[in-house]
Amino acid sequence: MVVLSKPVIQQFPVIKTCKSATFFSGVPLIDLSRPDSKNLLVKACKEFGFFKVVNHGVPGKFITKLESEATKFFSLPISEKQKAGSPDPFGYGSKSIGPNGDVGWVEYLLLTTSTELGFQRFISIPGQNPENFRCAMNKYVSAVKRMACEVLELLADGLKIQPRNVFSKLLMDEQSDSALRLNHYPPCPEIQGTDGRNLIGFGEHTDPQIISVLRSNNTSGLQISLGDGNWVSIPPDESSFFVNVGDSLQVMTNGRFKSVRHRVVANSLKSRVSMIYFGGPPLSEKIGPLPSLVQGEDSLYKEFTWFEYKKSAKSSRLAANRLGLFEKV
Ligand code: GA4
């Protein structure tokens, strides 16, 4: 377990607190085994850019295996974890998020899903069997990616656009720039309920990619912004997945779907472990409003390549409105 003492918290200048929110009961629930899911999916993406998926087809054993590999890794001494290299572009990070000064009460592993590179980092870490990790990650990522593609195809059906793989082909592409993030939010008892405020685990942001698929253990912490300025807490559910619309999908749908602003607050008593698959397009892919979705309306965004957007995102602060730079005036 990671032990972080009170003086450390006080010395940690950029940790911000926020008012705690109440549990939200309105998360759209998508049952992938139901025939009407495409319309519910479109509604959820327009209203919240966020929904929960059940009957997702991802085997429970793939989930528990990767979670246990992640837990094993996070239990190592910090000096061992640091052998995974710094998180830019892929490796282990603690408290520092991204290259521009953002911090949170979190440690994480950021990995690419596309090449062997993601695993090479583990070869030198004692106690970490790279083959077990590689196998757990491969099985998990392919099952989650399959589910993400099914969701994206149902969304294309729901929007009545063709071909139905217009979004999913970007994730299926061999060159797809997708990533896996394993987050560990250590408990922070010192901060508990002092004045009804919480410590930020991962600050508010939207995801730049097309779609993000999150699974966490049964510890609360995830919050989403409802767009009216109100933040709500999402009840955890370890057997379901939570899906976020990313900025790129907002652009491709010419603003019909909203990329959801979300954040994580630290829990005072329990560790939170989350695993997020970020489905991104190939670096050279041109992202812009789909022609079939701009007929009879204005195109809201300038076209950009995923490389350009990623570069611009990397140079922004976590909470920035990254799409602002690409809006047509
Ligand atoms: C947010 C979504 C993903 O976690 C991530 C993050 C990335 C990083 O951790 O390097 C960024 C953030 C995320 C967007 C703005 C920049 C880059 C941290 C940050 C401050 C991996 C991603 O793709 O974009």
Side-chain-facing half-sphere of 224: CA atoms under 13 Å: 25
33 domain-assigned: yes
Give me the tens of pLDDT residue by residue for the chain, a chain 329 residues long.
444 455 455 544 334 555 555 799 999 999 999 999 999 999 999 999 999 999 999 999 999 999 999 999 999 999 999 988 899 888 999 999 999 999 999 999 999 997 655 555 555 566 677 888 889 999 999 999 999 999 999 999 999 999 999 999 999 999 999 999 999 999 988 765 556 678 999 999 999 999 999 999 999 999 999 988 899 999 999 999 999 999 999 999 999 999 999 999 998 889 999 999 999 999 999 999 999 999 999 999 999 999 999 999 999 999 999 999 999 98
In this structure, is residue 126 part of a structural domain? yes
Cα distance between the two ends of the chain: 50
Residue 50: CATH number of its domain: 2.60.120.330
- pLDDT value for 12: 43
Strands (E), 163-285: 179-185, 197-205, 211-216, 222-225, 231-233, 241-245, 262-265, 272-279
| Atom 12 of ligand 1, residue of closest alpha carbon | 318
Enclosing domain of residue 73: 8-315
Q: Taking a C-beta distance cutoff of 8 angstroms, is the pair 39, 18 a contact?
A: no
Ligand 1 centroid, distance to 1 Cα (angstroms):
25
Is residue 81 assigned to a domain? yes
C-beta 100 within 6 A of ligand 1: yes
Residue 150 lies in a domain: yes
CA of 263 to the centre of ligand 1 (A): 12
Report pLDDT for 130: 80
Exposure class string for 282-293: b at 16+ Cβ within 10 A, else e: beebebbbbeeb
* 184 CA distance to ligand 1 middle (Å): 16
Q: Can you name the residues that pair with 300 across neighbouring β-strands?
A: none
Atom of ligand 1 nearest to the CA of 276: 4
121 lines ligand 1 (CB under 6 A): no
> In angstroms, what is the span from residue 71 Cα to ligand 1's centroid?
22
Q: Quick check: CB of 314 below 6 Å from ligand 1?
A: yes
Q: For residue 98, which of 260, 319, 324, 264 has the smallest C-alpha distance?
A: 319
Q: Is residue 325 part of a domain?
A: no
Quick check: CB of 61 below 6 Å from ligand 1? no
How far is it, in rounded angstroms, from Cα 32 to Cα 10? 46
Catalytic residue positions, numbered = 272
- Closest to 210 (Cα-Cα) out of 255, 250, 183: 250
**Total number of domains in the chain:** 1
Confidence at residue 120, expressed as pLDDT on a 0 to 100 scale: 56
Question: Does the beta carbon of 259 sit less than 6 angstroms from any atom of ligand 1?
Answer: no
Neighbours of 14 (CB within 10 A): 12
Q: Which of 207, 259, 323 to mutate for ligand 1's pocket (most ligand atoms within 8 Å of CB)?
A: 207
pLDDT of 126 reads 61
Pick from 113, 318, 322, 325 the residue to mutate for probing ligand 1's pocket: most ligand atoms within 8 Å of its CB: 318
Tell me whether residue 38 is in a domain: yes
Tokens linked to 265: 């607050």
Q: How far is the CA of 37 from the centre of ligand 1 (A)?
A: 30
**Assigned domain for 326 exists:** no
Nearest to 201 by CA among 225, 180, 226, 219: 219
Question: Residue 44 falls within a domain, yes or no?
Answer: yes
